[in-house]
Chain A
Amino acid sequence: AQSVAQPEDQVNVAEGNPLTVKCTYSVSGNPYLFWYVQYPNRGLQFLLKYITGDNLVKGSYGFEAEFNKSQTSFHLKKPSALVSDSALYFCAVRPRNYGQNFVFGPGTRLSVLP
């Protein structure tokens, strides 16, 4: 069965420190990979995606993610966290075959402490 794991329910980091939110997946083939963010009382917003090419992709708000094929991971990173980054983060994958559905991870709540 296809699945996405976000092993940490909660990540706490001090403002100005680097942050990492982890994502691993078990999906056949080389899926497309995505990160979404949900700020309090807001809808989900697209952050970044990996389709092909460079393993390091850059997205909105200074976030980046690194695709690692051998580890089937797509960890989200930011060099210097802001308090305003505090939100719920979702990793998602989509198999490459036409018409395939997305699989979302359970989410990781990031708290950036001032």
Chain B
Amino acid sequence: GAGVSQSPSNKVTEKGKDVELRCDPISGHTALYWYRQSLGQGLEFLIYFQGNSAPDKSGLPSDRFSAERTGGSVSTLTIQRTQQEDSAVYLCASSKNREPTYEQYFGPGTRLTVT
């Protein structure tokens, strides 16, 4: 079946511009996660949506970052007034979040370059 998809795959933007990154999770997955990964490094947690519960925003690095999930499906991560340090690969993952299938399935990522 279809996996997690993300768009765009690559985004180059000028410093100060706003960007929107999209994630389409696997159908039926109630949990959705956003992470950031700098050049071959570890995963930095950003935000976590679980069903209709209030999202866990504890990982968002600044108020320039926001995310929403509409209708319990598609999610958009928005970065306002981008900075060069925002350059990274942004990964989205989804999971069923119920026993025994808690594992996350990751999308291919969006590579963001801020010039």
Contacts and interface: CB of A to CB of B under 8 A. Distances in A.
Nearest to B92: A43
The dominant DSSP class at the B interface is: loop
B65 interface: no
Interface residues of A, number: 23
Interface of A: 32, 34, 36, 42-46, 49, 51-52, 88, 90, 92, 94, 99, 101-102, 104-107, 109
Interface of B: 33, 35, 40-43, 45, 48, 50, 53, 56, 91, 93, 97, 99-100, 102-109
19 contacts: A34-B102, A34-B103, A36-B106, A42-B108, A43-B109, A44-B43, A44-B91, A44-B93, A45-B106, A49-B102, A52-B100, A90-B42, A92-B104, A94-B102, A101-B48, A102-B33, A102-B104, A107-B41, A109-B40
